Structure 1
Amino acid sequence: MTWDPTTIALALAALPALNGLVNLFLLRAPDGPAPAGTLVSILIPARDEAANIGACLEAALAQQGVDIEVVVMDDGSTDGTPDIVGAIAARDPRVRLIAAPPLPEGWSGKMHACAQLGAAACGTHLLFIDADVRLAPGAAAGLAGHAVGHGLGLVSAVPRQRIETIGEGLTVPIINLLLLGYLPGGGRAFTRLPGFAAGCGQMMMVARDAYAATGGHGAVRTTLHDGLKLTRLLRTRGWRTEMVAGADLAACRMYRGFGESWRGFLKNAREGMATPLGLPVWTVVLAGAHLWPFALLPAGAAWLALALVFALRAAVTLRSGEPAWTIVLHPAAVVVALAIQWTALARVLTGRKEGWKGRSYAAPEPS
């Protein structure tokens, strides 16, 4: 075989297509009922979430098949968040509202809120969700049953992402594309290595004994990316973790519009691909598969490469329950993703702080 540019582009496209095919086959919905005696603590850190928290709580309280409690941590909100939660708690004793103590030095805001929620919870299983997540009625029972039935310390899923603007369509779908196209095993439990771990901070259930034994969010207190760091921690300590299909478990609208999406992904990129050693490799891998073939047209191998990457994107999009119209944005979405990563790396290297909901976070150490 001659490794000319078109052949290299085809190989770079075939790698995620094959890996994605395997991962889509392996990806399963959670199975098994929650055993008797299970209590799921649904834990919600909330900072200025007046627009979301009411609907989030109503969906959480509609859970079926398992006993639940719902604990909301008001993390210094300046809007009506605590009033909305308090009104719901007054009519449903399963809801508790607690206030976050001042943020200690060396903690990120969400990790501190989650740690406080974990300490306040009474459940056998701790289901951490974001305030913009809307759980389906069987989500808590399904996740708990799957965790117990498969001996998992942590089980997580990416909710079905509600995407309503072009700006969101250019950013949000990259989550599932990277998870299913580029992570061997897609976060399933048989991939026991910590480096193959995956989780989604939007919806993550941890068994109480695993959480206590590993130190939970307190052990990853500086991170902004608990979906990755907490899952890797558990695997390092010998606990099994798994990603399951999330499209039928919950829905979430992460961001509203391009500006908010850019800022949110920029914050998270600092602990993901945006490293001095990793990002050049990721740029070659992503641009080589998803963008370079356009420059090599009309070569037959370039057409085949594009067919593979669009087939992958279409399969992931449909399986994830994301809007089909986002598929045509795929090349631009890859450009935006790489632009976010390089911007994040530049800010890390210059020590720039990122802000989110009124807090600033120092750049992590470059690695």
Structure 2
Amino acid sequence: MLALFIVIQLAFLVWVLFNSFCLPKLPSYSRRSSSPLISVLIPMRNEERNVAKVINNLKALTYQNFEVIILDDHSEDDTKQLLQQAIGSDNRFKVIDGKPLPQRWVGKVFACHQLALEANGDYFLFLDADVSIHENTLERTLRAFHLGTGLITGFPKYPVKNFFSHLLVPMQHFIVHFHLPIFIANNTKRPAFTAAHGAFMMFKRDAYEAIKGHYSVKNSLVEDIHIAREVKKTGYYVRLMNISDSVSCFMYESNKEVWAGFSKNIFPGLGKSKALALLLSTFYFAIFLLPFLIFIGGLFSSSPFLSSIPFLLVLAQKCIVDIFTKQASWNFLLFPLSVIATILVLFYSMFLQFSKRGFSWKGRTYS
């Protein structure tokens, strides 16, 4: 039995390593002969803590031909005033007020829809307000648009501050590297093989308009994945890239925000399928937690090193992903706790769905 565990974990280790190498980085920086207009589109709702940082970050970009449109989505704090103060007289920036949220729309999706209607660019880059990008990111992302590519996206580097962030936020990278056949995802138009992150999504305008933009996913709580699938359905490629050297996302300030954010996304991300959620939980327990239990039991056996091998191979899988995505060098040591936290938040997300409490985020609740 132990030998079987070792073989399984070795196979998964090879798979994760191969998958990680298949995830391309953004091309290196070089000057372009043409400079199409890029519309940087940012929805904001109660983002006063991020306003100055994101505006100063965008002002430092080296790409010359871009506009920034920011939508204030009925913020109840000082977001609007701080935006005006941070922007000053820079005419590359424009702030618009969000319209009332219509029925059957998700707040962020409707905000992105309104932003796109105001955009003039040949490319639309949707950013979250808690994102920082390297000064040459626009040039490098443009170079990544190969023939037929409609969307480029990726999972940023996650600087984390609190306990739940350390457990759950880097798991986004691991889930992609472990579950998604990245080579197939990037080189075919099959919607089933798709991943995306809404914090950084650059569309070719033609591809965005071909799917009717965010209107096509107006009631989705995981609009990033669903809109990427729509792009593939219309005949464009979606390229998932390793953007962790260029894009950082400071997702959550508190443990409470981490829990609420993942509770909102994780069960809807599985299509609200109870069977899939139970299957995934069982799989994670058997593949990632059982080796840890065998390791603990082996400490009291006659062959503690042999009993530790499956668990060490599990840790190695997480360590590889953390290295490729520039997470903290010690984060992989928390992996058993990360798996437990993932299972718990998944079951809580299911509870919110089936108890009819709905998913709450930024003062709004969605069923």
Change (3 A) 1:201 1:290: same
Residue 360 of structure 2 corresponds to which residue in structure 1?
355
The CA deviation at 1:354 is 1.4
Residue 108 of structure 2 corresponds to which residue in structure 1?
110
List per-residue Cα deviations over 1:76-106 (Å, max 9, x = no partner).
0011111122233431000000011000000
The CA deviation at 1:7 is 5.0
AA in 2 matched with 1:26: C
Determine if contact 1:313/1:327 at 8 Å carries over to the other structure. yes
Determine if contact 2:51/2:86 at 8 Å carries over to the other structure. no
AA in 1 matched with 2:132: R
Residue 235 of structure 2 corresponds to which residue in structure 1?
238
Name stretches of at least 5 consecutive residues in structure 1 with no aligned partner: 363-367
Aligned residues, how many? Answer: 357
Residue 268 of structure 1 corresponds to which residue in structure 2?
265
Determine if contact 1:283/1:338 at 8 Å carries over to the other structure. yes
Secondary structure at the residue paired with 2:94?
A: strand
AA in 1 matched with 2:46: D
Secondary structure at the residue paired with 1:291?
A: helix
Secondary structure at the residue paired with 1:196?
A: coil
Counterpart check, 1:322 vs 2:327: yes
Q: TM-score, normalised by structure 1?
A: 0.92
Match of 2:191 among 186, 194, 214: 194
Residue 229 of structure 1 corresponds to which residue in structure 2?
226
Residue 135 of structure 2 corresponds to which residue in structure 1?
137
Map 1:333-352 → 2, pairs under 5 A? 333-352=338-357
List per-residue Cα deviations over 1:298-337 (Å, max 9, x = no partner).
3777533212221111111122111123221110010000
Counterpart check, 1:205 vs 2:210: no
Map 1:64-75 → 2, pairs under 5 A? 64-75=62-73
The CA deviation at 1:75 is 0.2
Distance in 1, Cα, partners of 2:17 & 2:221: 30
Name stretches of at least 5 consecutive residues in structure 2 with no aligned partner: none
Q: TM-score, normalised by structure 2?
A: 0.92
Greater mean deviation of Cα atoms: 94-103 or 270-279: 270-279
Task: Give the ranges of 4+ consecutive aligned residues of structure 1 lying more than 6 Å apart after TM superposition.
Answer: none
Residue 18 of structure 2 corresponds to which residue in structure 1?
22
List per-residue Cα deviations over 1:85-143 (Å, max 9, x = no partner).
22334310000000110000000000000011111111111110100001110112211
AA in 2 matched with 1:51: R
Secondary structure at the residue paired with 2:46?
A: coil
Counterpart check, 1:311 vs 2:316: yes
List per-residue Cα deviations over 1:270-319 (Å, max 9, x = no partner).
32235212112211221111101122343777533212221111111122
Distance in 2, Cα, partners of 1:203 & 1:187: 21
Secondary structure at the residue paired with 1:296?
A: helix
Determine if contact 1:42/1:71 at 8 Å carries over to the other structure. yes
Secondary structure at the residue paired with 2:144?
A: helix
Match of 2:118 among 117, 120, 128: 120
Task: Give aligned-pair identity as a percent.
Answer: 27
Change (3 A) 1:132 1:284: same
Determine if contact 1:186/1:198 at 8 Å carries over to the other structure. no
Change (3 A) 1:187 1:218: farther
Residue 162 of structure 1 corresponds to which residue in structure 2?
159
Distance in 1, Cα, partners of 2:292 & 2:235: 45
CA-atom RMSD in angstroms: 1.9
